[in-house]
Amino acid sequence: MTTTASASDRTGQFPFDFAPQRTQDADLLRQLNFVPGLKEVLTLRQVHALEHATVWVLSQSFGATTARADNELLGGMSTDQGFFLYGHVNIAQLRQAVREALHRIASGEWDLAVHPRCGTNLSVAMLLTAGLAVGINLALPRGPILQLFGLGAAAAAAAQLAPDVGALAQRYVTTAIPFNLSVVDITVSHDFWGREAHFVRVRWVE
């Protein structure tokens, strides 16, 4: 198994400060199984983490010499049924990468769940920019020069904060360690826009 660096080496962010429990999502589902859509949400969070872990493993297998390196030609989109992987990749290599990613992340390499190019970071950046802009708009006088300066300061501050806040959002909100996922199959598919992709289908297991 390839030795990887910590989350701070891979993403520039902070490592997990807690140990995820293997039965936490399954227990939650049993307790709240009357909540509509809960299983789909829990599955999506785990699929999202597996997608990130697979991209990291593939980036390393494509010749990355450090865990920090990232293959920017690879991308993904998660659903509660599995995830699409975009980019040039051999299906046999993908099968191996998914198996390795699932094993590594479930065995304790939880930082594989966080990826710097995740759409969560972009969403966080937009929310931060909007929030800071509104706050500065209310705090500063109405003069156009000061308002323009305030908007620039808001954008700069959001750009600085977004990576860390985005990583926290991924870690605690949009991903979960895939303790309950099993890979069903991998097929060549097409997304809504007609782009060719590989689809990694998964199923929920207790």
What CA–CA distance (Å, rounded) separates 10 from 164? 13
pLDDT score recorded for residue 146: 79
- pLDDT tens for the 206 residues of the chain, in order: 333 333 334 444 445 556 889 999 999 999 999 999 999 999 999 999 999 999 999 998 765 444 445 667 899 999 999 999 998 899 999 999 999 999 999 999 999 999 999 999 999 999 998 998 888 778 777 778 877 888 888 889 888 999 999 999 999 999 999 999 999 999 998 777 777 899 999 999 98
Residues whose CB is less than 8 angstroms from the CB of residue 93 and which lie 6 or more positions away in sequence, other chains included: 58, 61
User: Looking at residue 16, what DSSP letter applies?
Assistant: P
Collapsed DSSP state (helix, strand, coil) of residue 21: coil
pLDDT score recorded for residue 36: 95
Q: Which two tokens stand for residue 159?
A: 């750009």
Q: Kindly report the number of other CB atoms within 10 A of residue 176's CB atom.
A: 25
DSSP 113-149: G--TT-HHHHHHHHHHHHHHHHHHHHHS-S-HHHHHH
Q: Which two tokens stand for residue 27?
A: 């227990």
What CA–CA distance (Å, rounded) separates 134 from 132? 5
What CA–CA distance (Å, rounded) separates 97 from 89? 10
pLDDT score recorded for residue 145: 82
